[in-house]
Amino acid sequence: MRYDLNLLPTFIALMEERNVTRAAERLGITQPALSNALTRLRAMLHDPLFIRERYGMQPTEKALELAPVIAAALARLDDVILGQQEFAPARAERLFTLAPNSFVEFVLMPAVVARLRDLAPGIRLRMVPFGTDLAETGVVSGGTAMVLGRIVDPPDNLVVQHIMDDGFACIVRAGHPEIGDSMTRAQYEALKHVNMLPPGRLRAGLFQALHKQSLRRDVAVSVTHFLAVPELVAVTDYCSTLPRLICRHLARDPRLKIVPAPVDLGTFPVEMAWHVRYRHDAAHRWLRSLITDVARTIQAVGGAA
């Protein structure tokens, strides 16, 4: 039997997205074109494959059985074909899906995009959420090119690379009546705090560091994004403990100032992980190298600040 291999990426996109609109966007085709491809897939594989339900497309038993086989076959094709291709950044046209945590998105990605604009203007990036489950990002199946943040308990089919470290500092409003250029443990524990609760495991680093130093916080408010912190701190006498590189960005706001933490809170790692299917992909290797270089540059500048 002859199989149309062009349909297999459609199958994987639908399996991972469970949504026709998102799958079409990911593949760079229209919804009618994707629906037509799904019709042909169903005829080729003699199964409905995906059933439309209230909350999206749900795979059939046969689709679930076929998914790992098709993913492995595509990965093997990538190894053979992409490994033989040369990569010319200035002429490249490609979309990469990345899953950065909020720290990476805020600190690294603007510099990465600026570098791509100069070196590879045809490369486009699509950001998806960094969640508590690596599988949800799409990186475990290879649908997402890479995940960036703190990688905990990766499966065997992911390659993990350490790209940088960062520490912690505190930020208060510039005219704080009690805090000058430094603060004591007693002052820190007496202040109200704005607590950052991003998705994923980044928060574990600060929580564990505070616990290790027996440093208490009186949390007045918790937020889910770094951008909420400066607005809260600027209009209160609250304090927020954040990654040092985040503080360096926020300190550009004249309403705010950076203060060293009253005790050494250590550092946390930032890592990059990708599916083994991309190990011979020249474009992927180039992008990994660019991101690593950006991270090292930013860390060096931040360490000297």
The predicted model gives 98-107 an average pLDDT of 93
Is 297 a residue whose pLDDT tops 70? yes
The reply to whether CATH 3.40.190.290 applies to domain 88-305 is yes
Closest by Cα among 136, 246, 257, 260 to 196: 246
Decide: 168 and 243 in contact? Cβ < 8 Å.
yes
The pLDDT confidence band at residue 259, using thresholds 50, 70 and 90, is very high
Say what the pLDDT of residue 217 is.
94
Does position 203 have pLDDT exceeding 60, yes or no? no
The structure tokens 């933490």 sit at: 261
Residue 200 has pLDDT above 60, yes or no: no
pLDDT for the residue 303: 57
What is the pLDDT at residue 202? 46
Span 140-185, pLDDT tens digits = 777 889 999 988 888 888 899 999 999 999 999 999 999 999 999 9
Q: What's residue 157's pLDDT?
A: 84
Report how far apart, in Å, the C-alpha atoms of 254 and of each of 106, 136, 211, 243, 287 are.
19, 39, 32, 19, 35
Q: Quick one: which of 23, 19, 25, 28 has its CA closest to 10?
A: 23
CA 186 to each of CA 40, 182, 190: distance values in angstroms, whole numbers, following the listed order: 68, 12, 6
Residue 80 pLDDT > 70, yes or no?
no
Architecture of domain 5-82: Orthogonal Bundle (1.10)
> Domains of the chain: which residue ranges?
5-82, 88-305
pLDDT band at 269 (very low <50, low <70, confident <90, very high): very high
The pLDDT of residue 305: 47
Output the pTM of the full model: 0.71
Mean pLDDT rounded to a whole number for the chain: 88
- Which H/E stretch holds residue 194? strand 192-196
How do residues 37-78 score in pLDDT, each as one tens digit? 999 999 999 999 999 887 778 999 999 999 888 887 877 776
Has residue 107 got a pLDDT over 50?
yes
- Average pLDDT, stretch 253-282? 92
